[in-house]
Amino acid sequence: MASKRLLIWYALSMLALVPVRVFAGDWPHRRGPNLDGISSETQWLMRWPKDGPRRLWKASVGVGFSSITVRDGRVFTMGNRDNTDSVFCLDAESGKTLWKHSYSCPLDARFFEGGPTSTPTVDGEFVYTLSRQGDLFCFQAATGKIRWHKNVAKLTGAPVPGWGFASSPVVHGDMLLLNVGASGAAIDKNTGNVMWKSEAREAGYSTPIPCKAGDTELAIVTSGRAVFAVDIKTGKPKWQQRWLTRFGCNAADPIIADGQVFISAGYNRGAALFQLADGSLVWKNKDMQNHLNSCVLIDGCLYGFHGNADEETSLRCLEWKTGKLVWSHSGLGCGSLFAAGKKLIVLSEKGELLVAPASREGFKPSARAQVLTGKCWTVPVLANGRFYCRNAAGDVVCLDVRAGK
């Protein structure tokens, strides 16, 4: 018996020495694990050499504004070449293409470079993607094998919006929530069939955000004309508030906190805070106008880019409760940002990456480096100690900021 226990102990000891692939810092969805643009990673280098973090690799994925998602050592994004969209799966360590799926889709460069604007969503062993023309795919994440494919415009009868569908799929139980139609749609993630749909009107460009009001599960969806709180199970609006925007362009994702909903839009529209329970207005102003990318909320302050690409823009800090403008910093163009802990990670429109404390005292970078050229509107991400940044032309760079490397 003693020798048997010794053998078991020895086997367990050897098993403990086997390396296990753990990816606590994965970034499987647009805006991160919690759909709020905030990473929980802390073990990364916040100060860099003069020439910036070490570049691990560079890849070219085609024109577009799709961001990056990372799961189980795989990197996913989308791009367009020669009126053909491609979904890429790259190796996180080397940048090597593990698989690629391509299909016909017009570049559609209307007032911007064109290409995909939605970001892949990874859920377990599957990855979901949506094209601007409404082609919704479910792939095996490891191999790229198609599990199912539907066109959501044909499936729901909803028109393709002026700049194409931009919503990233959001997994909620067995549902894929999409900004399709007047106030969203839910697709069965296992089959691609419609679970519910809204009125066949033009959608907005933001991604639906699931949340709870009391015991009711809701999704906050913005069209070009209104903001809706819909019952996730049925798609029936619980409340809606009129929110007209020039060109119907509500592109920034809503933020939910403290039983309230924040939305923001460009083209001189501004921002507003609503009560989640009934949609009643808390405040609104024009001091935060998110053109494309969303704010992040840290310690009661909103940080985000104000203004449109064709006018003067600034990085700003706003109080959540009151909407009061705290500070404004210019010179970064129409950039984007996310946060890791209480640090802001900013990518300027011209490809400069900066790190600064999220502070009411102003924007004071502690690290900065030129990492890309060309137009950079796509928000960068941090996953497992690596920054991933891309430009409109489809250049993707992976930067190593792992502590101790």
Any idea what the CATH number is for the domain that residue 345 is in?
2.130.10.10
Instruction: Tell me whether residue 3 is in a domain.
Output: no
pLDDT at residue 2 in the model = 42
Does the structure show a pLDDT above 50 at 9?
A: no
Specify if 349 maps to a domain: yes
Beta-strand pair 336-340/38-39: parallel
CA separation for the pair 64, 177 (Å, rounded): 22
Q: Which two tokens stand for residue 294?
A: 């969303």
Q: What is the pLDDT of residue 405?
A: 63
Average pLDDT, the chain: 92
| Model pLDDT, residue 77 | 98
Distance, CA of 363 to CA of 347 (rounded, Å): 13
3-state secondary structure of 197: strand
Q: How far apart are CA 174 and CA 151, in angstroms?
A: 19
Using CB atoms within 10 Å of the CB of residue 172, give its burial: 0 to 12 exposed, 13 to 18 middle, 19+ buried: middle
Q: Order across the sheet with 255-257: list the strands.
A: 255-257, 260-265, 270-275, 281-285
CB atoms within 10 A of CB 11: 10
Tell me the residue range of the domain where 168 lies: 24-400
Cα distance between residue 401 and residue 385, in whole Å:
5
Beta strand pairing call for 135-140 and 146-151: antiparallel
- Flag whether pLDDT at 1 surpasses 70: no
Per DSSP, the three-state class of 276 is coil
For 274, the token pair is 């609503």
For residue 137, the cross-strand partners are 129, 149
Angle at Cα 116 formed by Cα 111 and Cα 120, nearest 5°? 150
Residue 9 in any domain: the answer is no
Q: Above 60 in pLDDT, residue 7?
A: no
Measured from the Cβ of residue 404, the count of other Cβ atoms closer than 10 Å reads 6
If one compares 64 and 47, the residue with the highest pLDDT of the two is: 64
Nearest CA-CA partner of 394 in 168, 162, 90: 90
185 token code pair: 């749609």
Q: How far is the C-alpha of 254 from the C-alpha of 221, rounded, in Å?
A: 8
DSSP 223: B
Look at the chain and report how many structural domains it folds into.
1
Distances (CA, A) of 94 to 55, 135, 367, 397: 11, 29, 25, 11
Q: What is the pLDDT of residue 247?
A: 77
Q: Are 356 and 347 a contacting pair, CB within 8 Å?
A: no
> Does residue 258 belong to any structural domain of this protein?
yes
**Torsion angles phi and psi, residue 7, rounded to 5:** -65, -40
Tokens 């647009």 correspond to 30
What is the C-alpha separation between 349 and 373, in angstroms, rounded? 9
Q: In this predicted structure, what is the pLDDT of residue 24? A: 59
**Which H/E stretch holds residue 270?**
strand 270-275
In what helix (H) or strand (E) does residue 171 lie, and over which residues does it extend? strand 170-172
Residues 154, 134: contact at Cβ < 8 Å? yes
Which strand (E) or helix (H) includes residue 3? Answer: helix 2-17
Q: How many CB atoms lie within 10 A of CB 49?
A: 10
Q: Is residue 319 part of a domain?
A: yes
User: Do residues 42 and 390 touch, judged by C-beta distance below 8 A?
Assistant: no
The answer to whether position 5 is within a domain reads no
Residue 20's pLDDT band, with cuts at 50, 70 and 90, is very low
User: In this model, does residue 371 exceed pLDDT 70?
Assistant: yes
pLDDT band at 341 (very low <50, low <70, confident <90, very high): confident
The β-bridge partners of 146 are 139
Residue in 171, 178, 90 with CA at minimum distance from that of residue 383: 90
pLDDT-derived band of residue 249, with 50, 70 and 90 as boundaries?
A: confident
Q: What residue type is 230 in one-letter code? A: V
Q: Assess if residue 53 is contained within a domain.
A: yes
Name the pLDDT band for 307 (thresholds 50, 70, 90): very high
Task: Decide if 11 is inside a domain.
Answer: no
Q: In what order do the strands lie in the sheet with 121-123?
A: 121-123, 126-130, 135-140, 146-151
pLDDT at 106 over 60: yes
Tell me how far apart the alpha carbons of residues 346 and 334 are, in angstroms, rounded to a whole number.
11
Please state the rounded mean pLDDT for residues 159-184. Answer: 97
Percentage of the chain exceeding pLDDT 90: 87
Q: Which residue has the higher pLDDT, 248 or 373?
A: 373
Give the pLDDT mean for 124-136. 98
